[in-house]
Amino acid sequence: MKLLFLTLSLMLMLGGCALQRGVVPVADLVNYVQDSSVYIENMPSKSRLLERQKHYEEHYFSPWKMRQPPITRFEAKWAFRRYKAGESYGENLLPIDASWFHTMVQQSNFNAYGSVNRYAISRHFTHLRAFPTHKPLFSDPSQAGEGFPFDYMQNSGVHSNEPLLVSHYSKDGAWVYVFTSYASGWVRHRDIVLLTEAQTQAYKRNRFVHVIHDGTALRDANGSFVTYGRVGMMLPYYDINTTHYTVMVHNGSRFTAAALPRQDAHSGPMLLRRENMTALMNELLGKNYGWGGMYEERDCSSTLRDMFASFGIWLPRNSSQQATIGKIISLKGLNADQKRTRIIEQGVPFETILYRRGHVLLYLGLFQGKIMVFHDTWGIRTVKDGVAGRKIVGKTVISTLELGKEQPDYDARYAHLKHLESMNIMTQEATTP
């Protein structure tokens, strides 16, 4: 009897949990295999590098060509105009006091903007911040799609050993304002190393590998950990054997040799071939969503940026900027059926970005009559009794453009297809009107 009671109690507890959660599985993630090899036959394989793939290093090393900041002081201070007291919230989810903003203005030391103009390299993965602080800034956390994880101080993640231009130091010297090839903002002073111009020139003369696997620990000759390899990184190498590349990484005091397994990297840009795309896409599928690179994760735009870096295709940081690369085809003024037709007729699978404000998706072609896309997404918009909400997905997925439509509170007003503004074939050159 006691055993029966315990068994019934356990069943009720488990049943209660299931009922309480009321989870409705996201149909696309159940009905469509989360493996790019299922859809890869849509991709036109390439037997040689495209012209765009030959210019990645020009973009990548652009900070080491700068003699001064490429934008004005006014432009660099954009965050102070966007985020203000009375509409910003801190880590305790309470309003941020005006005095905090005053402190940030003082710490930013923009009177010294462009006073250093030194080249540098990042020591390890670090965070590019809008203000010189690790503290978060949220919009109203009571609103759907705000609060965690959307820390608006997070501008981007910066990979290890990335070229930088240093503009100036914060007032206390703990932070530096830097430019990468795709964004600018504040990083901790301890996360970078200053280089001479001669060092940067010597660095650029090397051969390079693209890292194609996340999480490989790079160790020096003594076995000491230096950094992790991540998809999207490019590292110089000077030797190769049957098992490893010998790459150069900076350990904070000097450049040192480290072993990088051959299966985790590729010498030079990879060809846009089906087997290469399958490997890279599957490496990133299912990875957790990370707004602006928070927690060393990726969001929609950094997922595409890092994946295509391995193919030698440079993409900007933000979704709106990525939508300007290559041949742009407008979808404005079209209804859903017309957009679908244009995407199918003019899109190139695995090479075409679909853009809606704030989000980018990679077009994979048709599967079982549906347009399929690869994207990193936080959630599905819902509405119940007039109150907006989110069904959290929180990872990189393959889906249709109707992700979540089976959810009981799905808000069809925000369906992807309805809000797509443009598509751009990143591998093709822009056409002149």
152-200: pLDDT as tens digits? 999 999 999 999 999 999 999 999 999 999 999 999 999 999 999 999 9
DSSP character for 106?
H
The total number of structural domains that make up the chain: 3
CA torsion, ordered 321, 400, 44, 336, to nearest 10 deg: -70
**19 pLDDT more than 70:** no
The CATH number linked to 253 is 2.30.30.40
Residue 307 shares a structural domain with residue 186:
no
Confidence of residue 58 (pLDDT cuts 50, 70, 90): very high
- As a whole number of angstroms, the distance between CA 279 and CA 212 comes to 8
* DSSP secondary structure string for all residues of 307-352: HHHTTT----SSHHHHTTSSEEEE-TT--HHHHHHHHHHH--TTTE
Bridge partners of 257, per DSSP, are 248
In a domain, 82, yes or no: yes
Please check whether residue 285 is in contact with residue 228, taking contact to mean a CB–CB distance below 8 angstroms.
Answer: no
Residue 37 shares a structural domain with residue 75:
no
Confidence of residue 432 (pLDDT cuts 50, 70, 90): low
SS3 405: coil
Residue 117 shares a structural domain with residue 181:
yes
**149: cis peptide before it, omega within 30°?**
yes
In a domain, 223, yes or no: yes
SS3 43: coil
- As a whole number of angstroms, the distance between CA 274 and CA 374 comes to 15
**5 pLDDT more than 70:** no
**21 pLDDT more than 80:** no
Residue 288 shares a structural domain with residue 398:
yes
In a domain, 407, yes or no: yes
**What average pLDDT does the segment 192-209 reach?**
97
In a domain, 190, yes or no: yes
Q: Residue 33 contacts by C-beta under 8 Å, 6 or more apart in sequence? A: 398
Q: Over pLDDT 90: what percentage of the chain?
A: 93
pLDDT digits (tens, 9 = 90+) for 40-53: 999 999 999 999 99
Token digits of residue 156 = 């981007």
pLDDT value for 6? 40
- As a whole number of angstroms, the distance between CA 253 and CA 35 comes to 42
In a domain, 36, yes or no: yes
In a domain, 100, yes or no: yes
**10 pLDDT more than 90:** no
The CATH number linked to 350 is 3.90.1720.10
Please check whether residue 244 is in contact with residue 262, taking contact to mean a CB–CB distance below 8 angstroms.
Answer: yes
In a domain, 402, yes or no: yes
Residue 240 shares a structural domain with residue 222:
yes
Secondary structure of 66-103 as H, E, C letters? CCCCCCCHHHHCHHHHHCCCCCCECCCCCECCHHHHHH
- As a whole number of angstroms, the distance between CA 61 and CA 65 comes to 7
Q: Residue 420 contacts by C-beta under 8 Å, 6 or more apart in sequence? A: 331, 339, 343, 354, 355, 356, 401
**312, 327, 328, 329 from 433: Cα distances, Å:** 27, 11, 11, 11
> Of the candidates 195, 214, 230, which is a domain's last residue?
195
Please check whether residue 399 is in contact with residue 29, taking contact to mean a CB–CB distance below 8 angstroms.
Answer: yes
> Of the candidates 166, 195, 224, which is a domain's last residue?
195
Token digits of residue 52 = 């765009």
pLDDT digits (tens, 9 = 90+) for 276-298: 999 999 999 999 999 999 999 99
List alpha helices for 209-318, DSSP H: 274-284, 300-309
Token digits of residue 313 = 């295709």
pLDDT value for 247? 98
> Of the candidates 195, 216, 243, which is a domain's last residue?
195
pTM of the predicted structure, to 2 decimals = 0.93
- As a whole number of angstroms, the distance between CA 105 and CA 11 comes to 57
Residue 87 shares a structural domain with residue 190:
yes
Of the candidates 294, 303, 297, 273, the one whose C-alpha atom is nearest the C-alpha of residue 397 is 303
Residue 384 shares a structural domain with residue 281:
yes
SS3 57: helix
In a domain, 2, yes or no: no
Largest Cα separation within the chain, whole Å, is 82
Residue 335 shares a structural domain with residue 389:
yes
Report strand pairing: 154-158 vs 163-169. Answer: unpaired
Residue 136 shares a structural domain with residue 180:
yes
- What's the domain range around 88? 59-195
**24 pLDDT more than 90:** no
In this predicted structure, which of 14-18, 113-117, 428-432 has the lowest mean pLDDT?
14-18
Exposure b/e, 46-79, CB count within 10 A at least 16 = b: beeebebbeebeeebbbbbeeeebeeeeeebeeb
Residue 99 shares a structural domain with residue 169:
yes
- As a whole number of angstroms, the distance between CA 146 and CA 92 comes to 14
Confidence of residue 430 (pLDDT cuts 50, 70, 90): confident
**239, 241, 267 from 263: Cα distances, Å:** 15, 12, 11
Residue 277 shares a structural domain with residue 249:
no
Residue 237 shares a structural domain with residue 307:
no
What count of other Cβ atoms lies within 10 Å of the Cβ of residue 289?
Answer: 22
Burial class (CB in 10 A: 0-12, 13-18, 19+), 195: buried
Amino acid (1-letter code) at residue 296 = E
Where residue 393 falls (left for φ over 0; alpha for ψ -120 to 50; beta otherwise) is alpha
